[in-house]
A and B are shown apart, each in its own frame.
Chain A
Amino acid sequence: MPSVLLSQLATANKLSVEPWPEDATLYQPYEVEQILLPENASCLAVKAYLKMCNLPFDVRTCANAEHMSPGGRMTKLPFIRAGAFIFAEFEPIVNFVEQKEMAIGNLQDEDEKADMRTYVSLVENIFTMAELYISFKNERVYKEVTAPRNGSVYPWPMNHMQNYGKRRNALRLLKVYQWNDLDIENVIEKVAKCCETLEYKLKESPDTPFFYGEQPCELDAIAFGHLFSILTTTLPNMALAQTVQKFKHLVEFCRFIDDKYFQTSFVPC
């Protein structure tokens, strides 16, 4: 096993001088009938990041994307296939792009960069956990949205087993991140606090639309991915969206990024 890791590292370094592969492909679950809120958020974040870096990529949707993924700390999705390499989740993909020195946000100094990385980690943790919480711990959302969507790609008796397994994994994730004994008020409180932090950060540079100066960076991508997904996904329980909507600057920020990079119609719910 260590030889595999070492060789992978060596080839990754060798690869870093090569240009961005033309056939880079992003894999994700079916958007219309299958994908769940946390997965949608992380997929959108990665797409936003790649678009901000102006890197070309294809998107492929397949039912077993999660099982194909090499694994990660949270949703394991999306994963990107670039040449012989596969990277899953936001942070590894960003690291991979940075190795090619084609990344955005290279201008910041070291301290600012460290701060930014911690913000990214905060946004990823808090929002993913809140999304998982609402998807799997809220009985109504689970029954009406999560379970039917997750089971939609499997034939009859298997969808129940897959739902059971998926929920068990999600609850384990919540437990590890110490979110399992929170009630919905605590979750809202945490999300609101995170939004507050983001809005404070956004207001630090009031003249620019981005978090750090004139250029977009990872934080813009991941914040957009999560906020936009929460705002635009209709669930039986809209507590998260209502919380985010209280932060007008963040809603404005989402609208701006969407216009600039995605050009889709944005209808706040």
Chain B
Amino acid sequence: MPQSKPRGGAASSKDSKYDLGKISARVDRVHVSGLLRTHNDYVMRAADGLFKADNFQDVMLEAMSTKAYLHELGIFKDVSVHIDVSRGADASPQGYEVTFKGNEYSRMMGSAGTEVGQNEGSLRTELTVPNILGRGESISLQGSYSNTRANDLQLKFWKPFFHTRFRENRPEFSFSIFRQTDRFDISSFQSTNVGYLIDFSAHSSLGVDLTHSLQYENSIRNVGLLNKSVPFGIREHCGPKLASLVRYSVVFDNRDANVFATRGILLKSTNEYCGLGGNVAYTSSTAHGEVNVPLFSGFVAQFCGRVGIVKETKQTTLLPISSLFYCGGPMTLRGFKYGGAGPVVDGTPIGAQTYWCTGAHLWAPLPFAGVFKSLASNFRTHFFYNIGNTNTFSLENMRSAFGMGLAFKFADRARIEINYCIPVRRQATDKVLNGFQFGIGYEFI
């Protein structure tokens, strides 16, 4: 699909042999080849930046960013770039032709792998039909199975709007139908959710870069028991309920890496309002923050914090037990069992209406990291100190623990930790874990 720009206005400059920025250049034509099923207008904006380049360095950089953009469109398996001197009758003196050779995704793609969830791994299989209608629309069917969790299923349709004039905002729309089971083993119940979710997400860059996501969820939540002897306070919640909720979340992230960041801040907030029809009503807000400060010779200080509140609304009869917060466990308060630092009913831990917890870390590279550089970059050691509490914001009766451990970066997104934990302050009903604790997940405190 050739694009061309009218002649004229070619920049001329004083050549310097080594400074590419001083070599004047002008892009005459941009080809994007390999579009079999994709409509031409979907990649039309790919070349916007390229035509603005007026020296060779810009051309190179823009070509790279265009390549990244083409990848993001979700139609190509791989893209290669060719930059050549422009030829032909209407070629300008410093004209170049840029060709992107794309290789489109096949009609159907299958994959199998492992997934990292709330401190557990599971087997996941996925079947994707990419780019059905020629503008990036895709459908995927995802199923996952783990020994601790029942089968989950998700059928998702999504459509990116990266090709529109809101390209910078990365708008994306998705609709999914899901069946998902959350097991709360510590409280001996599970919640099976069946429903659909409509999601619209976009970036905004008014001063700061934020990622917004607005969701509407309509689902049937069926609470069932995992055990015969369950406190009545939990048994009361059994049975199906219809939840209808809007969820808004916003993320600010300027860290330099997802897992082992050395500098930068992550702020994330999620607000839910449930009660637009259905018979479940509550509001819920959580906020998560992470600050990384580089110190000397690879050492990093990290401070994390998280707060969550669930509140009744006017229509609430009973707060849903599956929306309460569990504090404790390798992702929140190390040194405690999962959900083990919170209120209990008849000896069984139950979620809390509010909770907060914070953590301070000192991250260090492995000793002798220089010897096995590629391997060692996936590992870090850390010392940590966690403080947290549930159902109160005072420092009275708080829980705390400290310890040290080894963390491993898994698939560039998840973190696996093994820590030796020593709980310092605890309550009589808490379930502590004094010793080694294993954790796997995306978001830690």
Q: Which residues of A contact B (CB under 8 A)?
A: 1, 4-5, 7-8, 62-64, 66-68, 70, 81, 84, 86, 154-158, 161-162
Contact = CB atoms under 8 A, between A and B. Distances in A.
Interface of B: 220, 223-224, 227-229, 232, 235-236, 238-240, 242, 277-279, 346
Nearest to B234: A68
Given A67-B240, A84-B346, 20 more contacts: A4-B228, A4-B229, A7-B229, A8-B228, A8-B229, A63-B239, A67-B223, A67-B239, A68-B238, A70-B228, A154-B240, A154-B242, A154-B279, A155-B242, A155-B277, A156-B277, A157-B242, A158-B240, A158-B242, A161-B220
Contacts of A62: 236
A8 to B, nearest CB: 6
B280 to A, nearest CB: 10
A152 to B, nearest CB: 12
Nearest to B194: A161
Contacts of B223: 67
Contacts of A63: 239
Contact of B238 (A4, A64, A156): A64
A4 B227 contact: yes
A28 to B, nearest CB: 14
Contacts of B229: 4, 7-8
Contacts of A84: 346
A62 to B, nearest CB: 8
Nearest to B231: A84
B232 A155 contact: no
A68 B224 CA distance: 9
6 contacts: A64-B239, A66-B239, A86-B235, A154-B240, A155-B277, A158-B240
Contacts of B279: 154-155
A211 B245 CA distance: 57
A261 B239 CA distance: 33
A68 B235 contact: yes
A158 B220 contact: yes
B346 A155 contact: no
A64 B241 CA distance: 10
B130 to A, nearest CB: 31
A115 B317 CA distance: 47
Contacts of A5: 228
3 tightest CB-CB pairs across the interface, nearest first? A67-B239, A64-B239, A67-B238
A4 B225 CA distance: 14
Nearest to A157: B242
Contacts of B277: 155-156
A67 B191 CA distance: 13
A157 B278 CA distance: 9
Contacts of B240: 67, 154, 158, 162
A156 B278 CA distance: 8
A66 to B, nearest CB: 8
A161 B239 CA distance: 13
A158 B280 CA distance: 13
Contacts of A4: 227-229
Contacts of B242: 154-155, 157-158
B242 to A, nearest CB: 5
B407 to A, nearest CB: 36
A57 to B, nearest CB: 16
Contacts of A7: 229
B228 A155 contact: no
Contacts of A8: 228-229
Nearest to A158: B242
A68 to B, nearest CB: 5
A155 B280 CA distance: 10
Contacts of A157: 242
A68 B239 contact: yes
A64 B232 CA distance: 13
Contact of B278 (A66, A67, A155, A162): A155
B282 to A, nearest CB: 16
B348 to A, nearest CB: 12
Contacts of A158: 220, 240, 242
B355 to A, nearest CB: 27
A5 B235 CA distance: 18
Contacts of A161: 220
B194 to A, nearest CB: 9
A155 B315 CA distance: 14
Contacts of B224: 67
A68 B228 CA distance: 11
Nearest to A159: B242
Task: Name, among A68, A70, A81, A156, the residue most crowded by chain B CB atoms within 10 Å (CB to CB).
Answer: A68
A63 B280 CA distance: 14
Nearest to B229: A4
Contacts of A67: 223-224, 238-240
Task: Name, among A62, A64, A81, the residue most crowded by chain B CB atoms within 10 Å (CB to CB).
Answer: A64
Contact of B232 (A66, A81, A154): A81
B390 to A, nearest CB: 25
Contacts of B346: 84
Contacts of B232: 81, 86
A62 B277 CA distance: 20
Contacts of A81: 232
A1 B223 CA distance: 20
Contacts of A66: 239
A153 to B, nearest CB: 8
Contacts of B228: 1, 4-5, 8, 70
B281 to A, nearest CB: 12
Nearest to B278: A155
A70 B346 CA distance: 18
A154 B243 CA distance: 11
A25 B330 CA distance: 40
Task: Name, among A4, A81, A158, the residue most crowded by chain B CB atoms within 10 Å (CB to CB).
Answer: A158
